[in-house]
């Protein structure tokens, strides 16, 4: 493996890296081939970006704006809307709806942030030593724009369609401006993987389809090919970060459904690394699901139990994962309660109905006392 690079984290075996590279490389030739036929919208967007980046001044100005929006003195919650407004010119009401915030609240938050930039004289220049951290804050804020409610636990993806296009546009811009930042590539790859599957997430009658049951022919091959190529190039830069890891996990999911041979071990390793870097609630839940696949459902449940209950009480993916694992170890009463909580917390009707069906299927196999009927 010529391009294998050192992982910055101790204790991580070479496997994920090697795996990441082969998975991405396998399709890179296809990617180049398919790129020629990429849709017109793509071409237009590219031209738009070219125009924008041609003038150095304009490009620089927007990079500065992105970095100001992600300044540590600006509340993390307002960074995303601030970028959407100052760089893309979206109005406060539209941003508010997409991020599920009251328009008046959003207006006030934006106004306060802008006042702070002015009155605290937040510098438009970024000290070199702060660059990596600030770049990550920029990328994080763009990712948040992709959909605040977007989660992907065991393929239970749901993306509000609101600002996905805008987020991808911003990620493309950032990548143009920060070509040497592998995480910028990772982010764009990650969002393209998710976006490639957007149409396959719903059946024609609107029913939710989990990742593992999706029809890969309904995925957008151009986006996947582009994502694979981005990820490969990022991996070659030799600086792994959380966004690349998340993209690599997406790549693994795509590969698993296409080939019918999921590499659970690779996914689990990637999550293990990710959970060390960014132990967010979503990552921890997803890691538990990955562990359940490689080490069995009760080990996965142990991981879920290790998360503080105050954080999980209203976190839907946690309860979906919990219900699923409880069902697998035969704790049907507990599984039913967990399904109920997940159903009660679901925002999307498709997901809600899918969970209801899962719970109904569980009740059909279990007798009222919770024991499994003979022969089922």
Partner 1 sequence: MRYAMLVYETEAGVKARNDPEYQAAYKAYIEAIYGTGVAVGGSGLQDAATTATTFRIINGERQIQDGPYPDTKEQLAGFFLIDVPDLDKALEWAARCPSTARGGIIELRPALEQPSWPRASRMEGCCRSCWSAPTILRGQRTHSPRPSWRR
Quote the least distance from Cβ 282 to partner 1, whole Å: 15
Question: CA-to-CA distance for 227 and 234, rounded, in angstroms?
Answer: 10
Could you please report the per-residue DSSP string of 237-300?
Answer: TT---HHHHHHHHHHHHHHHHHHS---HHHHHHHHHHHHHH---HHHHHHHHHHHHHHH-HHHH
User: Which residue, 264 or 340, is less far from partner 1 as judged by CB?
Assistant: 340
Which residues, numbered 94-113, are part of the site for partner 1 (CB under 8 A)? 100-102, 105
Among 94, 176, 202, 353, binds partner 1 (CB under 8 A): 353
Alpha-carbon distances, residue 135 vs 10, 26, 164, 276, 375 (angstroms): 24, 30, 20, 20, 57
Question: CA-to-CA distance for 145 and 95, rounded, in angstroms?
Answer: 9
Asked if 163 interacts with partner 1 (CB under 8 A), we say no
Which residues, numbered 355-374, are part of the site for partner 1 (CB under 8 A)? 356, 359
Quote the least distance from Cβ 311 to partner 1, whole Å: 11
Quote the least distance from Cβ 96 to partner 1, whole Å: 10
User: Which residue, 146 or 318, is less far from partner 1 as judged by CB?
Assistant: 318
Among 37, 119, 217, 310, binds partner 1 (CB under 8 A): 310
Quote the least distance from Cβ 344 to partner 1, whole Å: 3
Stretch that binds partner 1, among 20-28, 181-189, 231-239, 339-347 (CB under 8 A): 339-347
- Can you tell me whether residue 158 is helix, strand or coil? strand
Alpha-carbon distances, residue 116 vs 61, 63, 86 (angstroms): 19, 19, 15
- Per the CB < 8 A criterion, the answer to whether 373 and 366 are in contact is yes
Stretch that binds partner 1, among 186-194, 241-249, 289-297, 344-352 (CB under 8 A): 344-352
By the criterion CB under 8 A, which residues form the site for partner 1? 100-102, 105, 309-310, 313-314, 337, 339-347, 349, 352-353, 356, 359
């Amino acid at each position: 493996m010529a391009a294998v690079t050192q992982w910055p984290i101790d204790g991580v075996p070479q496997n994920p890296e090697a795996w990441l590279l082969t998975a991405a490389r396998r399709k890179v030739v296809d990617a180049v081939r398919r790129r020629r036929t990429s849709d017109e919208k793509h071409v237009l967007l590219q031209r738009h970006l070219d125009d924008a980046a041609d003038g150095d001044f304009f490009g620089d100005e927007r990079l500065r704006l992105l970095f100001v929006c992600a300044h540590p003195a600006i509340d993390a919650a307002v960074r995303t809307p601030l970028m959407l407004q100052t760089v893309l010119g979206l109005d406060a009401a539209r941003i508010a709806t997409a991020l599920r915030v009251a328009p008046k609240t959003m207006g006030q938050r934006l106004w306060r942030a802008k006042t702070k930039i002015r009155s605290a004289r937040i510098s438009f220049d970024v000290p070199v030593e702060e660059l990596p951290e600030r770049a990550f804050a920029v990328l994080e804020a763009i990712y948040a724009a992709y959909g605040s409610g977007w989660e992907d636990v065991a393929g239970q993806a749901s993306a509000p369609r609101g600002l996905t296009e805008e987020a991808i546009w911003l990620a493309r811009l950032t990548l143009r401006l920060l070509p040497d930042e592998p995480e910028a590539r990772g982010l764009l790859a990650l969002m393209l993987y998710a976006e490639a599957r957007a149409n396959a997430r719903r059946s024609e009658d609107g029913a939710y389809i989990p990742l593992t049951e999706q029809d890969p022919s309904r995925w957008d091959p151009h986006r996947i090919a582009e994502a694979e190529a981005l990820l490969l190039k990022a991996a070659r830069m030799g600086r792994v970060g959380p966004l690349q890891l998340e993209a690599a996990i997406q790549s693994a999911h795509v590969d698993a459904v296409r080939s019918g041979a999921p590499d659970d071990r690779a996914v689990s390793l990637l999550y293990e690394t990710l959970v060390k870097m960014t132990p967010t609630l979503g990552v921890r839940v997803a890691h538990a699901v990955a562990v359940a696949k490689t080490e069995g459902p009760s080990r996965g449940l142990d991981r879920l139990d290790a998360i503080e209950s105050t954080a999980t009480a209203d976190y839907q993916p946690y309860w979906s994962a919990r219900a699923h694992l409880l069902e697998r170890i035969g704790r049907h009463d507990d599984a039913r309660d967990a399904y109920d909580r997940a159903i009660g917390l679901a925002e999307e009707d498709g997901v809600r109905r899918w969970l209801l069906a899962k719970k109904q299927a569980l009740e059909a196999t279990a007798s009222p006392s919770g024991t499994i009927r003979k022969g089922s």
